[in-house]
Structure 1
């Protein structure tokens, strides 16, 4: 049973996305990513030397899957996007908004993490932008309740 929903219901939650790319040999690859939805595009983190960035440079076709799952609450909603990704240089303000989404207010950020791993001032930092060609949703939150109560 497929039940569509408005993707805005989950696109602003701090969920993980799965970015699927195509390797040079044609094999599929995927990676979990943090993301930010702005201006009709999904923005994801990368770096100049990351494998995802290299694969997108070779073949920009990507798929992104986001799943909201709460076993106890009986929620299972899936959002999928497909299209061609583009690589952009770091945009510090966008990057900070993305980090705030996952880490909370800047005053609460782990100093080590933002100085060593998620550096806003990193010249090798890149952003992956997907302006999706297709978006689909499926709410299958019926695994606990059955179809009569799933979307209430």
Structure 2
């Protein structure tokens, strides 16, 4: 018996999302960073990565984003369902994603992380793009307070 909320509340924040895909051995989940642009969720992938491989075989997927703050009594859940596409690398979007999660000032980024993990110039980089076919929000931020929401 939750309440709906504006998805932008979570989409504009640097939270973790969970990407769920289907593979030959069944369902698989992966934590992902994301950006919301052009009415689509954009998640990093790799041409050789398992999520991209599974989505090429079966593009159906789900994404869940949750803001859970136990002490404050906040529990917001945003779910997307649809078919994803695999898109080419876009260094400008990659930079926006890193700015979102690391810091807007690139000078503060950890050089080791950028050079060995988040290589913007890697030719294998791909984007997983999900323009949701369905969206679900559920605000159950009353689990500590009772019927009064802990979050508006």
Output aligned runs, 1:2-151, within 5 Å. 2-25=2-25, 27-104=26-103, 105-151=105-151
- Match of 1:72, SS? coil
- Match of 1:36, SS? strand
Deviations 1:126-148 (A, max 9, x none): 11000000011000101111122
Question: d(CA) in 1 for partners of 2:146 and 2:108?
Answer: 41
Say what the alpha-carbon RMSD is for the aligned residues. 0.9
Deviations 1:15-48 (A, max 9, x none): 00000000024x1101000000001000001111
Deviations 1:76-128 (A, max 9, x none): 00000000000011100001000111000211111011111111111010110
Q: 1:24 to 1:141 in 2, by over 3 A?
A: same
- Match of 2:107, SS? helix
CA contact (8 A) 1:85 1:129 kept: yes
TM-score after normalising by structure 2: 0.96
Residue 151 of structure 1, CA deviation = 4.0
Gaps of 5+ in 1: none
The total of aligned residue pairs comes to 151
TM-score after normalising by structure 1: 0.96
Gaps of 5+ in 2: none
